Structure 1
């Protein structure tokens, strides 16, 4: 997803979404995506998954709102967006033979990660800026 976001920003001049991308030990992480799919571990995800949207909230008082996202609806929306599809296809083609550790190595070679390695490995939570995303190796 990091490279899709970076390529889209480079090509279209805008972010796909507002969630920050964090610089973690093994590379870029979008927290809601990570927490939703971490339970799969290294297993393949074989079908779309309904998930809690970022619109879900709980303030500690009153009502708790849960919004589930329909994966079929999301897929239909994205399928109709040719600009988005072209970016995704480009990224998939670029990385089709890459392993997870190939991607870790690749992101760690980029200055946006490498220049902050000691802070990242010491648990300091950093995020990618738009300029860093634009400089991604894609």
Structure 2
């Protein structure tokens, strides 16, 4: 199995949010902080369901919750991250959608948590064992994430 680059998953969320911004008056632009929490849930569900990572990047326990260094570095100094959607962004969106397992998970995470604010997601992750039990700035262990998701997330398949 080929593990997809985390920034392609970010682009999936950017493209989806861009469409929502055009479609719904109440939509808010995706922020760097929010996408990192959504990525944490994507990784957790992927570990739960497939016992492997959705993306190869470590998830770090930062002050404001789970974070991914590469995403932070790409969008440093930016709050909102949607901006203009390029042909490459659309290609990344399609690539994520072409991976049936990954597409199912990003869609489920977006459906369940996409309407939550970044601060709501920060509060949520701060209440969860993986972030609470990891020293600040350290890597949150895959085993800890998987165990937490195994015990706390019910998944129904249709």
TM-score with structure 2 length normalisation?
0.62
Does the residue aligned with 1:106 lie in a helix, a strand or coil?
helix
Give 2:139's aligned residue: 127
Give 1:115's aligned residue: 133
Map of 1:59-70 to 2, 5 A cutoff? 70=88
Give 1:87's aligned residue: 105
Deviations 1:60-85, CA, capped at 9 Å, x for gaps: xxxxxxxxxx4344333212111111
Cα distance, 1:13 vs structure 2: 1.2
Matched, 1:21 2:59: yes
Unaligned runs of 5+ in 1: 51-69
Aligned residues: 112
Unaligned runs of 5+ in 2: 1-38, 154-158
TM-score with structure 1 length normalisation?
0.70
Does the residue aligned with 2:61 lie in a helix, a strand or coil?
strand
Specify which structure has the higher proportion of helix. 2
Specify which structure has the higher proportion of strand. 1
Give 2:122's aligned residue: 104
Matched, 1:34 2:76: no
Give the CA RMSD over aligned residues. Answer: 2.1
Structure of higher CA gyration radius: 1
Give 1:57's aligned residue: none
